[in-house]
Homo-oligomer: A and B are copies of this chain.
Amino acid sequence: MPGNSFGRIFTITTFGESHGKGIGVIIDGVPPSVELSEEDIQVELDRRRPGQSRVTTPRREPDRVQILSGVFQGRTTGTPMALFIPNRSARPADYESFKDLYRPGHADFTYHRKYGIRDWRGSGRASGRETAARVAAGAVARKVLLGEGIGITAYVLEIDGICAERIDLSEIEKNMVRSPDKDAAERMIARIDQARSEGDSVGGIVEVLVRGIPPGMGDPVFDKLDALLAHALMSIGGVRGFEVGKGIESARMRGSQFNDSYYADGVRVRTRTNNAGGILGGISTGEDIVLRVAVRPPASIERPQETVSVDGVERTIEVHGRHDPCIAPRIVPVVEAMVAVTLLDCLLVHRSYQGWVHGT
C-alpha cells in the first residue's frame, strides 16, 4: 500500500493524479547550499511536458513547477524540497464514458482490484502524468551530480523496429523523437505518424549513458547498482524490460568475449571493452554506465477492443482522447531523472564511509 517513495538517503515521495489538482514530490536528503531555482527544474519539465510536438499527446499542460519549501535565498537548505505542478488542462469529462469499463492495457482493472475504489479520471494515479514529479525531482539530483562531474544522457535507440545506426549525442534534442541518429529519426517519426493515422501506437527502446561515476560506488548483494537502477527504471509505467551493458546479448556470448580486460591508463585502471556496462558485482568500474529499457506501445488506441465492465459484462471499447502514439521520446527525460535520483542516493551512501577507505 505504500510504494510512493524511492531512495535511502536522497529520497523522493510523489503524489497526485492526472486530473486532480496537480502532481508533486517531496525530496528529502537534498545536499545543502546548492544553487537552485524553479527555472532549473522547469527546463527538464519542458522536455517531458505534453504537447511538445506532433508525436506526443495534444494535451496542453504548461507544467509550471512551484518550489514550496527547502530553498532559501536561491540555495537549498538541506531540508525537504516540496515541488508542485498544478494540473491546468484537466478534462475529467473525457473519461466519464469509460468509467465503468476496464481499458485493455491500462491499470484500470488492477487498481480497482487492489483498492476497491478508483479515480477513473485519466488513469488517476496510474497516469504517465505522475512522471512529471519524477522529472522535477530528477532535475534537482542532476544539478547536484553535475556539480560532482557526473553527466547523464538518454536517447531513443529504436522505435517500432527502426534502429538508430549511429550515436551522435548532439542530435538528440534536435529531433522530435530524441534519436541520436538524425536519419533514423526521420523514419521513426514517419512510422509514428503512420501508426497514429491507423489509430494504433508503437513502442521503442531507450538507452542511457552515465559519465563520471567514480569506481567503487554501489552496494553488494541486494542493492547492487544495477539492481537499484533496474528497480528505478522498471518503475516507470510502460517499461517492460531492462538491460545493463550487453544485457540480453550477454546470454549469447562466451566468457572469453564478455569479460572486459583491464589495462593501466596511468594511475587509472580501465577496461578495453565495456560489455559490463560500467558495473561489476553491482559496483561501478568507473567506465560509462550503459543501460537500456524497452518501452511498450501506449495502451490508449482508437481501435475497438474487447473488454469487461466493472459489473462483469463483456463490452467493446474505443478510447478516443488526447494520447501519445509513442511514449519513448517523452520517457527520455524520465529515464534520465530516475537514473539521477538513484545515483545521487548511491553517491551519498558512498560518501558516508569514505573516511575508512584507504589506499585505492
Contact = CB atoms under 8 A, between A and B. Distances in A.
Contact of A262 (B78, B104, B245, B348): B104
Listed from nearest, the 6 A-B pairs whose CB atoms lie closest are A107-B281, A3-B219, A3-B223, A113-B216, A201-B255, A105-B259
Given A9-B349, A81-B15, A203 B308 contact: no
A155 interface: no
Contact of A240 (B33, B118, B244, B353): B244
> Do most interface residues of chain A lie in helix, strand or loop, or is the interface mixed?
mixed
A288 interface: no
6 contacts: A15-B82, A79-B115, A104-B271, A222-B231, A237-B282, A348-B353
A215 B353 contact: no
A9 to B, nearest CB: 6
Contact of A247 (B13, B215, B241, B250): B241
Please give the count of copies of this chain that the complex contains: 4
Contact of A250 (B66, B217, B235, B297): B297
Contact of A352 (B9, B104, B124): B9
Interface string A7-33: 011110111110011101010111111
Given A20-B69, A259-B301, A262-B307, A116 B32 contact: yes
A200 interface: yes
A77 B280 contact: no
A243 B294 contact: yes
A224 B126 CA distance: 11
B200 A256 contact: yes
Interface string A107-118: 101111111111
A317 to B, nearest CB: 9
A95 interface: no
A159 to B, nearest CB: 8
B243 A281 contact: no
Given A24-B68, A256-B200, A297-B250, A13 B111 contact: no
A312 B360 CA distance: 11
A193 interface: no
B17 A69 contact: yes
